Amino acid sequence: MAVMPIAIATALAFGQQPASAQGLFDMLFGGGIRHNSQGEFPPPPKPRKVQPGTGGSVRISSPTYNTYRADKLVRVDFKSLLPAPPPATAQDAAFVPSVTGSAFRDAMAGLSDYELFAEPDIAKALIAYYSANPDFIWVTGDAPNSRAQDAVRVLGEAASYGLTPADYSVDVPAAATNAALPEARAKELVRFEMALSARVLRYAHDAQSGRVDPNRMTGYYDFPAKPLDLEGVLKTLAHTQEVRTYLESRHPQNPEYQALRVELESLQASEENEIVVDPKLLLKPGESSPELPKLLTLIARNLDDEMGGDFGETLARLGKSDLYDPDLVPVIKAVQKRAGMKGDGVIGPRTVASLAGTSKADKVEKVMAALEELRWLPSDLGSPRVFINQPAFTASYIDNGEEKLKTRVVIGKVTNQTAFFYNQIKQVDFHPYWGVPQSIIVNEMLPRLRSDPGYLDRAGYEVTDSSGRRVPSAAVDWGAYGAKIPFSVRQQPSEANALGELKILFPNKHAIYMHDTPQKSFFGRDMRALSHGCIRLQDPRGMAAAVLGTSVDDIAEKLKHGHSTENVTRVIPVYVAYFTAWPDMSGKVEYFDDVYDRDSKLMQALDATEAVRAPST
């Protein structure tokens, strides 16, 4: 989670200034500040010796990304639906088949050698539904009915939702002719019935939950299942003429989803950018790239009078050069500052994006990814809510369709990525303790503790055993436990506490929360993936006031009274989200860098899903 250098933190806490920057490790874990323990401590638990040769290199690993494997399709087993030989006794008088039901049973023989492939749960639902309801949904008489026509049209429009129409395609029987044999026609119609039901169920599932299971992709994704009663879908469709309305209602019903659909339609109708520059270009003075003249052309095209007077001659002289000449550095710096970036003269993705924008192909991919990811979330996002968009490095408090607070955030480093999940805000802690995560204890503190077991005592940290009893750090044999440390470590409240003056909790297995930080300078950076995984807020008091339904002045007053906790009494969902394309409150879609390279992994999962579905019939 978000951590400031420990030595600096403790020095500030005791009113001292650090003498010098002795390297990040010393700043994080250096000793030198004495802290007198108060009271008597019980002896630490007896250590469990680790295997020789493993104690010095043990680590707690971060989640990994998996090569996505979609569920294989299965052949639908129609045996239980096939007509059985007529019984010797008279038929049960209580059962009176409908005219179409009788036709349905007569047509069942046409399924004996039919190869229809579907997802296992869909295949099971088909058999269960038609066993209990032996009648047509999509056929009336000798032709597909209006209900079927509506369904086929909706499936054919799947691309407008960022879905793949081929995943839901069904061969629709041609109009009946006098030459058509009744038996052949019945066979064609019953196969159409089963195929359309299978693809409608796939569509309903994909619209509600998405085409991939995000939790299979990586441990950084954490979403509850969104159950769908597949038999219930068919029952509903069998008793309604509002097929389009029902199927479209399976999609997320929020304005963000609709804005992304509008953006996708606009992109598909637009032309590619006239000048396309490699979005991952990284170029320093003295280096060469064929992409540079493209950027210089865009700069020259948009020169105003002031910049034209300053740099017009330089661009005219060097505008065709592949070499990033030192004379061009002031030009790039001026362009960067005008775009609100730090003018460092290094041409990177943000500089390219500010000049060339995002290519059409890249925008389409980002919007497709965003539509899929939105299907993992609740259809109604809730109000009020807190929405954190990691690639945008922002957190917003939204109530009644209005963004009442928007603040910059710091998220996890690429090596300590922030997870993608949603939860509910529960409490605000004022002047909080910082419970050091096990991963930080093992990966970052433990190497120092093996040689200097008492430094936590000196630095003002509390160590407790599994029973909650205080234990002196110096009394623990830290080299004896490997990655399973049976102790907790926490930093006491102070101005230098790594969490600052408050934290906002929404309990989750990732131990992620929002909090203040003493490292205010990080908010001035463009790329703010800098923490251990938690969300650092530039305006923590504003966010605390929002979720508690009070004023910033009230928060300031509470902070005067030391450590305390206040529960959030309203239902406020919080989304720790990851969208590289996301609409603002007016519906305009903005695009962001894929800081964790997650979009490409999602595209791999979607490709794997399409590959499994491709041979289906």
| E runs forming strands in 155-234 | 221-222
Cβ atoms within 10 Å of 577's Cβ, excluding its own: 22
pLDDT, mean of residues 180-188: 84
| 97 pLDDT above the threshold of 90 | no
Does the pLDDT value for residue 85 go beyond 70? no
Reported confidence tier of residue 136, pLDDT bands at 50, 70, 90: very high
How far, in Å, are 8, 16, 34, 463, 494 from residue 12 at the CA level?
6, 5, 14, 21, 9
Query: Strand, helix or coil at 319?
Result: coil
Give percent of the chain above pLDDT 90. 62
Where does the pLDDT of residue 44 fall: very low under 50, low under 70, confident under 90, or very high at 90 and above?
A: very low
pLDDT confidence of residue 466: 87
How confident is residue 203, by pLDDT bands cut at 50, 70 and 90?
A: very high
Tell me, what's the pLDDT at 493?
A: 84
The better pLDDT of the pair 491, 416 is held by: 416
Structural tokens at position 386: 């807190």
Residue 39's pLDDT band (boundaries 50, 70, 90)? very low
Per-residue confidence at 312, pLDDT binned at 50, 70, 90?
A: confident
Residue 617, SS3 per DSSP: coil
| Nearest partner of 27 among 6, 12, 11, 2, judged by Cα | 6
Alpha carbon distance 223, 419 (integer Å): 10
Q: Does domain 384-432+496-578 have CATH number 2.40.440.10?
A: yes
Contacts within 8 Å (CB) and 24+ apart, 78-84: 78/108, 78/111, 78/112, 78/114, 78/116, 78/127, 78/194, 80/127, 80/131, 81/108, 81/111, 81/127, 81/130, 81/131, 81/134, 82/108, 82/109, 82/111, 82/112, 83/108, 83/109
pLDDT at 78 over 60: yes
Indicate if the pLDDT at residue 444 is higher than 90: no
Q: What pTM does this model have? A: 0.81
Residue-level pLDDT at 549: 97
Q: Do residues 512 and 535 lie in contact, with contact meaning Cβ atoms separated by under 8 Å?
A: yes
% of the chain surpassing 70 pLDDT: 86
Domain ranges of the chain: 74-267, 292-356, 384-432+496-578
Residues 457, 330: Cα–Cα separation, whole Å? 51
Q: How confident is the model at residue 195 (pLDDT cuts 50, 70, 90)?
A: very high
Least confident of 106-110, 247-251, 356-360, 557-561: 356-360
Residue, of 593 and 176, whose pLDDT is higher: 593
Average pLDDT score, the chain: 86
C-alpha to C-alpha distance for 127 and 147, rounded to whole angstroms: 21
17 vs 410: which has the higher pLDDT: 410
pLDDT digits (tens, 9 = 90+) for 321-355: 899 999 999 999 988 888 778 788 999 888 888 88
The predicted-structure confidence for 485-507, as pLDDT tens digits, reads as follows 899 998 888 777 889 999 999 99
End-to-end CA distance of the chain: 49
What pLDDT score does 83 carry?
73
The pLDDT value given to residue 270: 87
Mean pLDDT of the 285-304 span: 89
Strands 434-435 and 487-491: antiparallel
**What value does the mean pLDDT take over residues 467-473?**
90
